[in-house]
Structure 1
Amino acid sequence: MKHRLEIRRTPTKRTLSLLALALTAGASIAGATGFSSATFVSASSSTGSVQAAADWTPPTVAMTSPGSTVSGTVTVTATAADDRSGIASVQLQARAAGATTWSTICTATKSPYSCSWSTTGLADGAYDLRAIATDKAGYTATSATVRTTVLNTATITLADPGDVVSGTVTLKPAISAGTGWSVRVERAPLGTTAWTTICTASTSPYSCSWATASTPYGRYDLRAVATSGSTTITSPVVPDTLVDNTVRSITLADPGTFLEGTVNLTATASSTAPVASVVFQRAAAGTISWTTICTDTAAPWACAWPTTGVNDGSYDLRAVLTDTNGATATSNVVAARTVDNVTTPLTALDVQTTNGGNPNRVDAGDKILLTYSRRVDLTTITPGWDGSPLPISVSLVRNLFSTDDVTFSRSGAALNLGSVQTDNNFASLIGLFNPRFDATMTASTETVGGVPRTVVTVEIGSQVAGSIRNVTHDSTLTWFPSTQVFGLNGTRLPATAAVESGPSDKDF
């Protein structure tokens, strides 16, 4: 629009003075004889016009960022100004990042220049926004672009840190799209909504550390929450993670490589939380199919295992501690322990003697060694015996066939050693003056071919009765065992005799 400027020329002071003089002169002449009385008027005027523009500058406009991330319907806003003619309209436009074509979101004609932008029909990703302002003089201006990310389908997940955590644990949230997120990982007591922030992360990859030592013992639900601008995404809950920083340990004692009968299993257990129970378990050697043998609920932690209830074979053993919080600890594995209750039969295996004095007669220091094929229950040899030295009596009784029977007795209690027959006559007369000696009996265990055996040693002491004589020829001993003796596995000792192995000698 153009305006016309009119410039009018008016008489100056000089012009008016000249005009006044002229009028005075004219009046004088008019008064003179011979002049007319008419009046002369002189006037001069001139009019001109110039046109100029009132608004020759474009407006200013700026696009306001709606945030680094948007979703759903969001308000987009621009600011615009023009100090002469004023703003006629503002167009708000959007395009996918990298595209060349802009789409108009809306056109606003008055401040505030804003409108609603529905992003639900757009693909997730980065978008540019701009505004174009037009003033009333027709001039336009375009704002700088601002970038935002549309996230309508983005998701966040939290990796499961494990059923039980302790110490420092790395938590790993993952977001499916977009950048510029602020992520926090939260915990709540199992089954509640009392969420507490554990740790935060602001850059990808969005991982953070959980110092569980500052978290009370217990079971927790976990989740991750991501925010960007006004947008929040919450992950599915990772349920039932146990925080357990209790210090606990358990050690299973080795019961031995060869097991038979009832075996006493023991464990040493400790925990900063009270120990509720210790479970003793077995598995076929080299497997992980654990079977509970027994459970103890009070210290000292022990278990009587009747091995006769399993097949002979090789077994691994372990113990499992459970504390009052329900947390567990597993002991070392005691591996490849042999259970043998029937594979090796129980028999009287051997009888031997050693000389302690005169090699031609029975006297103090001589020893008789009775060896069983496997371990026996010492209390079935004589009541209450544990193998420690025990006083007994040894007698030699002459037979009709030029042999002597060596017999064993204990004052006030049965002594089930059977008898030993020697091919010599140490007793001088049949039934008369049978020699008798004080003696000491002990028991020990020897292992032969991986099988432990009980050896009973009878050491001859002082002669207390009868008479003894020297012998001139070697003899072989035969042991006739007592069937009142039982193995650790409960098997009764058969009456089968054992013959002395090795070379003959004159002792016994």
Structure 2
Amino acid sequence: MRRTPAILILGILVVALASRFSSGFSDATFTSSSASSGTVEAAQDWTAPAVTLANPGTPLQGTVTLSATATDAESGIASVTLQYLAPGASTWTTVCTDTTAPYSCAWATGSLADGSYDLRARAVNGAGYTSLSDSVRTTVANNVVVVLADPGDVVRGNVAMGATVYNGGALPWLVTIQYATAGSTSWKTLCSGLSAPFGCTWSTTSFANDSFDLRAVATSGNTTVTSAVVSDVLVDNLAPTVTMTDPGSPLSGSVTFAASATDAGSGVQQVVLQHLRNGTSTWQTLCTITAEPFSCRVATTTLTDGTYSFRAVATDVAGNTATSAGVTGRVVDNTVSSISVDDPGAYLSGTVTVTAQANSTAGVASVRIQRAATGTSTWTDLCTSTTAPYSCAWDTRTVANGSYDLRAILVDGRGAATTSAVVGARKVDNSTLRAVDVQASNGDGTLGRLDAGDTITLTYSESVAPGSITAGWTGAALPVSLRLRDGNLVGGGNRTDVLDVLRNGNAVQLGSIGLRDDYVKARKTATFNATMTASTVTVDGVGRTVVTIVVGTLASGGGLRTSSVAPTMVWTPSTAATSLGGGACAATPVTESGPADRDL
């Protein structure tokens, strides 16, 4: 993620809150957790610089030149710092800082340990905003060194393995590739006696579905060198399990098609739902889903009326696939009246548009949309509509907070009525206290990777009693633990990793943060030391609590991964948090606002 200074985070927050509650300019002020306050003023340059590191090639020996390009159209470039990350290290080391273009310096590798290094450039513009370049991987080889190629986090079937010997001269080298159960030191031979180009095939089907460490050992005469360990490579040759859910029959209007899928190894990558019309031989795709629930809403009017079979095909991260048994003999018939209610969402507040999809060969005379408390049979009309689109503006503040069912009744041109399926258990919650935004910023660590210095910011709609988040807390800096769990451990799939905040091993009442990507390897958990503070932002005279969590050192676990995508986080707050007046927080999730970026 771009490193975002504190003033920029606060500026974005003030603008977002102002746009939510006013169409004019914001009069937002920032108030700390003490009684003092100050006014925030916007900087002229709100744009971070652009920076790219030139690839110096590989391998590197002696003194080499590192160079970068950096641009900033507003306040200009103040400095560019070139840095490296040594093998096994977690802290970046500065090679030099250059203030004038071309931004370059000499890197003396002779005194460094041989091995794989990451390089990056860090640019600062005249306004003080910072950007990090993408990392470049290279190998320092001033002596004889052997490097094992990384086969990837997850492997299956036959895997090509390869090693490279640098500075080996004309000596005849033989390479052995070894493996050990992850975390152990019991090394065994995978393949041996390899001569240049030092390659072999790893047949993983004879191995347990487990995580392994790998290394290469090169020998020439009495000289032996050993590569760095490629750790936590998951062998997964086990196909997922998948079951197609029966969608019922006959089918008309918009229908939810779904499947259940699990995978004990690398996790489910995707599920494809398919249909086959009787009399044809090729399965066609209904939809492709990459996260649970594995379901999609499909307008059956796009299918030719007839008899169909449905099935699901699941693929895990390793590439193993499984196909469910077919659900056969299901009829699609849109030649008669059909009606369905579009799902307005799991959580509802304020005024919500509820829409129904209706069609009839006899014409649609009217559509009546209704609500009822979940589990009851007393239906109340929201509206009656006679023209498409058939929709109502439902002011949910006119009903008590709680769970509601929705349905629609179509009356066709003949006077016949057709009632839709119920969209059940939609939660109305108009609690004043609710989640407003979640943001994250990179400290000075690896872009797209959770590490020390990263910051997570959670914003409520009004002031929160700190003691309701964790007993005895006043909002002052408090040591906590930040737990990162692989999505497979929480039933969300490998790309739905979750952050939780703990104090003394117990959950802090902040809820959970869904990262929407893969930041830790399959079935892994990592726990970091962290510090939590609460402050207040005042907007239009209303104080809003901001909880800031600063990530510290890794305390336990591991298997961290670096995300290369730009997802949007989702914060699901806990209802145990209360306002200063004792009102409970709404459970409505909130999605990270602003442009998508590489979090953490």
- Check whether TM > 0.5: no
Provide the TM-score with structure 1 as the length reference.
0.34
Provide the TM-score with structure 2 as the length reference.
0.29
Higher relative contact order structure (alpha carbons within 8 Å, sequence separation ≥ 6): 2
